[in-house]
Copies of this chain bind each other. A is one copy, B any other.
Amino acid sequence: MHRVAIIGGGFGGLYAARCLRRAPVSVTLLDRRNYHLFQPLLYQVATGTLSPANIASPLRSLLKRQQNTTVLLAEAREFDVAARRVAIDSGVVDYDSLIVAAGATHSYFGHDEWERLAPSLKNLDDATEIRRKILLAFEAAERATDEAERRKWMTFVVVGGGPTGVELAGQVAEIAAHTLPGEFRRIRPQDAQVYLVETASRILGTYPAKLSARAEAALQRQGVKLLKNALVTGVEAERVEYRQGDRHEQLECRTVLWAAGVRASPLAEQLAAATGAKTDRLGRVCVSPRLSLPGHDEIFVIGDMACLEPSPGEPLPALAQVAMQQGRYAASVIVAQLAGRQIERPFRYRDYGTLATIGRNQAVADLHVVWLWGFAAWAVWLVVHLMSLVQFQNRLLVLMQWGWSYATRNRAARLITGGTQLPPGTNHAGADAADAAEVMAGTEK
């Protein structure tokens, strides 16, 4: 039996596996995690609207009925392309065809030390950690005895004006303005400041300029402060430094969220070294128009890990749509090869358009035939995302929670898990017990 190994259970890997369900092959799908994650809604977990399980489904459960497929919870370590073998943490997997779809991770532009202070959003653990950070910041502000300290806790900086950064900034502003007011006694959550820092001259750079402008206006109405043409030059525990033109500026803040650079999984580098393929500046493997590697028709690289340039200098974007279509294409090439046919047609991306939300009733949509913004775009966004969730139960659960949040502006999943310890240096060292006592009891007297 022809053995297909698939690395990664994201959009690319999962769709490839599904398309092979009736093929005369045996499929092994490897993933480091036991679930397929619907990443486009991850920011809603990070901001307390949805629960992790609402947007994640166990891979085993999704592929249960597909008898020719084995799911392995394992991490790919090394490629032996000559022997057609992948070393994993608990052995090796032999293959006849290999589909690598290990995705991407965030890049800190060579400043990996910033990651600890400015988490980014790639998986569920990141999302609950960011949720913890945002909620703890308001708690710390409520406890702070010093006004400057309080202001730092109430300042949030999101770095990166792509869709994720825009969504995060919009949600944090909404939490501050609509979810939390009335719940605190010493701070006014509405006073929180949310900054969105973008290197380029406009946010959502891959969208038409008009939609960027609409998104900027919507964000500003929500109270988000935009810093454009601003390059972050330093991240510390209590400040972010940036350069805007010739000016060096800084923001005093305790919470920084990173949504800027993207970098392909380190497996890309390895695979390139093993096969002699090239990588681009984001570390992605450059693939042939048939998504395979030079001299290795049996190895496909798809999704965020692959760089394909249909027109020179215009690589396909890192979108779920691209990964899904590439997964289907790679599977069809394998099936054709086995049947002795050749697929001549190179991979062609069918671009149905892109969507980004900013907040309640606010989104932008570039559907090529038409541009939408405001409520119309938001409605399209809502339907598209709801229908794209892989399990029917999750569609129902998400719909219910969205309805609830929309009506009450509350968020069901506002939990601080993984410890409530504030970072060091937040014990209000300046205030001795007696001072603190006054402050603590101040509003009650």
Contacts and interface: CB of A to CB of B under 8 A. Distances in A.
Nearest to A404: B393
A70 B444 contact: yes
A58 interface: yes
A255 to B, nearest CB: 16
State the copy count for this chain.
2
A85 interface: yes
Nearest to A94: B441
Contact of A53 (B125, B400, B415): B415
Nearest to A26: B444
Contact of A91 (B393, B400, B428): B428
B87 A415 contact: no
Contact of A444 (B1, B125, B394): B1
Contact of A397 (B64, B70, B135, B400): B400
Interface in A383-402: 393-394, 396-397, 400-401
A73 B420 contact: yes
A177 interface: no
A89 B139 CA distance: 13
Interface residues of A, number: 77
Q: Which of A51, A410, A417, A445: most chain B Cβ within 10 A? A: A417
A414 interface: yes
Contacts of A70: 185-186, 443-444
Given A91-B440, A94-B437, A441-B93, A60 B183 contact: yes
B412 A53 contact: yes
Given A88-B440, A93-B441, 11 more contacts: A1-B445, A51-B51, A51-B54, A58-B415, A60-B184, A90-B427, A90-B428, A91-B145, A94-B440, A125-B419, A397-B400
Interface of A: 1, 3, 26, 28, 32-35, 51-54, 56, 58, 60-61, 64-65, 70-74, 85, 87-94, 124-125, 128, 135-136, 139, 142-143, 145, 180, 182-186, 393-394, 396-397, 400-401, 404, 410, 412-420, 426-428, 431, 433, 436-437, 439-441, 443-445
The 4 A-B pairs with the shortest beta carbon distances in the complex, nearest first, are: A91-B436, A26-B444, A53-B413, A51-B51
